[in-house]
Amino acid sequence: MWRLRECSLNDEQLAAAIGVSSGVIRNRRNKPQSWKQGDIDRLASYFSMSTTASQQLTTTLGELSQQVATLPSAERRRIERALHMKATQLSEYNLSGWTIQYLLRMHQSLSRT
């Protein structure tokens, strides 16, 4: 994100570079927590930065979603309470893209337990 602040591209150019609309860029500049993990991957690629950590996170989140879905209901509910998120939401965010806001919320929830 620090590289984005130093970037000389305007919203339209940046939007074209990562494949979103300029309105999305303006919104995400105003609300940084709304950036999606996929957008950050595309930004990293655009700026020739490593995406290894993000790829590992994507893999781990997919595995977590699958494992939680196979748990007995009592154990699944315990995990959902710890994550402050339903198992269906985990699956949905894996498909639609995790926002920084939800990743941070899950991290904070797990840090407290």
Please check whether residues 97 and 60 belong to one and the same domain: yes
Confidence band for 78, pLDDT divided at 50, 70 and 90? very high
68 and 20 share a domain? no
User: The domain containing residue 78 runs over which residues?
Assistant: 55-112
pLDDT band at 3 (very low <50, low <70, confident <90, very high): low
Same domain, 60 and 106: yes
Same domain? 43 vs 62: no
Residues 6+ positions from 36 with CB-CB distance below 8 Å: 97, 98, 99, 100
Say yes or no to pLDDT of 35 above 80: yes
Q: How far apart are CA 105 and CA 29, in angstroms?
A: 20
Shared-domain flag, residues 35 and 12: yes
pLDDT above 70: residue 2:
no
| 97 lies in the same domain as 65 | yes
Residue 38 and residue 59 in one domain: no
Model pLDDT, residue 29:
85
* pLDDT at residue number 63: 94
Work out how many domains the chain is built from and give that number.
2
